[in-house]
Structure 1
Amino acid sequence: MPPDRLDALVKHPFHRETIERLIGFIRDLRECRTPEDYVAFQQDLLHATLTANAARAERSRVIKRLRRRQKLPADAPELVIGDPHQLDDWRLEQDVLERVGRQLRSIGDAMAWQAFHYDRRHIIALRRNESPGPMTLSKEGTVHEIQFANQQWSEHRQFAMLHDLTDCLRIGDVTVFSKPDHNNEQDILLYELKTNPNRREGPQLERTRMAAEALHEGGPLPGDENARLIDTGVPYATHLSALADAFAHAHRDGLKTMRVPGQRGLLTLDIPAAGNKWSPQEATRQFHAQYAALLRRTRLTGQHVRYSSGDSAARHYLTAPWGIYPLQPTQCAALIADVLVFSVTLSSDNFVEELHKTGLDARWLLPEGAEIEPTQHLLEINAHGRRLRVPAAEIQRLLLELTDLQTWAEGIDRLLEKTQDRCQPWPYFTEEHKVWA
């Protein structure tokens, strides 16, 4: 996106208002303890989501008419900034509302992670489907799901989480959390709802059944008969405390770079602070100069593998949502809205050396300069007579979560030791709640 358009988008009143709302949502979510808390939180998020998506649909309707060189409809919404007869001004507002919708979905993802007690297995199993698109009341299924959730609360006092408020829950329509028993254990029930009980939806129901069996019985994950969830048995560990420290310095200085264990370079940017300190041209120069200096200090050799947080709300395939990161609510909201940005870089050579310390034989499959898709395999690891190919999404996750590389390598070693032939393993670590909660 051209810098001037990006600047207009980020400074748009809709976007500024949403940042404040995101802070409130994150604070409220962290206070949720009871089913009643979650029901009230979800109701507020639902209202905000439906309002944003309806506003975006209204702009889309106007854009279609202007493209056909027709007059503005009599009931056209009020354009907040610009000339209502200019197509590009309507497009800008539509782009803003698309971002707002994703940012609210990122809050929904944080709600899902917290409701599932930060157990990544549920996210891996229930994300294996296409996105259902924006949540609107024009869809009959949406109305039915909302009614079902309301009924679960009014009749059974149970929290029913609406999947369409999230990006990470794409299988099933609703998850119902039963009341905890005297041992503080609860049933978690996955529902695929039908508006017409006579209509058959075999594939959707089959994927829902497979997701439930993968979670509770060790069955295959939806979409791949060889894919299984594998418990590494290794407690999860990260270096996210370094991210909090870096953001604190960036808030004062605009930019902060530092080395992170595992031969990684971390760069953080506080856009408002940088804008107050430098002109746009000088900020760009500072960014490139300090990033180059970071690479020299970290002594990264081989190819540089780099991932950034920018424009990633409700886009990441595996990475935890910004709303649950161990940061202040204002920082989490700023990450969602791209007011704070960070990137993590490692070298292909150093990463392989880290894996060798755990006895893993690894080699990169990364063609230099190639376009990378999240599902593309970037790394091949051999150990215990097994071979594992690691997708780009997993490399992105361990960089953006600043995962401790020795923890990850130990988990992969355990995984290959216990995985059967032909199994495509999806690893998860224990005690993740200690990182995110």
Structure 2
Amino acid sequence: MAGSHLSPQAFQLLEEDSEYYLHQSLSTPCLNVIEKSYGIYLEDIDGRKYMDFHGNSVHQVGYGNEYVIKAVKEQLDVLPFSPRRYTNRTAIQLAKKLVELALGNLNKVLLAPGGTSAVSMALKLARKATGKFKIMSMWDSFHGASLDAISVGGEAIFRNGMGPLLPGTLHVLPYNSYRSFFGDGHASHEKGLDYLEYVLEREMDVGAIILEPIRCTDVQVPPKEYHQRLRRICDSHGILLIYDEIPTALGRTGKMFAFENYEVVPDIVLLGKGLGGGVFPLAAMVAREDLDVTGDIALGHFTHEKSSIGCAAALATLQYIEDYGLLERANSLGEYMKSRLLEMQKQYELIGDVRGIGLLYGVELVLDRKTKVKAISEAERIMYKCMEKGLSFKVSQGNVLTLAPPITITDQELEEAMNILKACF
């Protein structure tokens, strides 16, 4: 660390950034100016290093991963761009690899330049395949920032003030709200799913339900029974089950796909963020083979649809996850992180809950464990204290410290990060 304050040069650059970019919540104005990224680290213009436990969920294999960089450089020399009217070997290899990794009959792939676009494609496919225009989703969910994505999304900061949104979007309670309405214990999620069925019996034109199987923002991990019953509900009502795994797939939860933790298979799964290895933006929709029914329309038709560069980065990312056993690493390191966080919970009354899976954990801060009043200012103070000591992470819902390090993090680096967090409490 080179001190806890920004230099005049950093302030000047931040002022220029603020002057030329449109201001929007969550991104502009910015916190700092980043000069380098490598491994698990961000380095700012003043030379400070931060262990990045946020990374916008793109850094499963770390920054500047040697597999990914090498693959991208080699592809740049041969095929830097592939026009949409053609295919290329790298794109075909990626589709084959995704189908190989997916379960069940998830045998068809469509690529997109970003996760929000993948969500859009899934919504269009659901309408076309089912002939029904209504989509069910969850309040507080996040599926992207485009108009159709915020229509199915449930976060107020994206939806408010936008006027009429996509028609036919229905919202029900998310898993983490069930206890507030139905009480504690196992019965809460059962009653929540009872309500979902109640809605489906009255809304006859629902073609699909889209949700995050494990919510990445404030880290909500439903029990296995929840998703297994949800699968049965979808089957009985003839609606498609779409899992948005854009931030959570590719090893984050200790499995290549988050849905593998629940022993169910969706009809459509969406990937993104880390698929490009933290180098190139790329997303994918992987769908059931019998949903290949859109030959007469264009679902995506993106300029960079089968990007040779993006596909090379994705193939290298998937290969690295396999070659270096990152699924096993996510589970073993996650157990260590869980044990350290639970120790802190015993020591500090401020920690109301610790929840997570793999290398994704949420630490919920409360002023009182009984009333569960959010400790919002305390969460912000802890975040900034951690940043001063070289640890960066996200605060979600105002009071949840969301911890998602690169899966390439070493034992020593993770121990150091937990020590910093504890010191800041």
| TM norm structure 1 | 0.28
- Higher Cα Rg: structure 1 or 2? 1
Greater helix content: 1
